[in-house]
Amino acid sequence: MVSCPWCGSGEVEKVAEFGPHLMVSQYICRDCHNPFEAIRK
């Protein structure tokens, strides 16, 4: 499960399967509204 690196919340939404690199996905936190990337598993 992916959690927000800024606030630690688990309430995140995937906004893109691929980010600027093929190994990351893009997410946005529903609590603090910050976008972030996470390595795909």
pLDDT at position 1 = 87
Give 13's DSSP letter. E
Phi, psi of 31 (to 5 degrees): -90, -55
pLDDT at position 18 = 93
Residue-wise pLDDT for 1-41, tens only, equals: 899 999 999 999 999 999 889 999 999 999 999 999 999 98
Q: Is the pTM of this model over 0.85?
A: yes
pLDDT at position 10 = 97
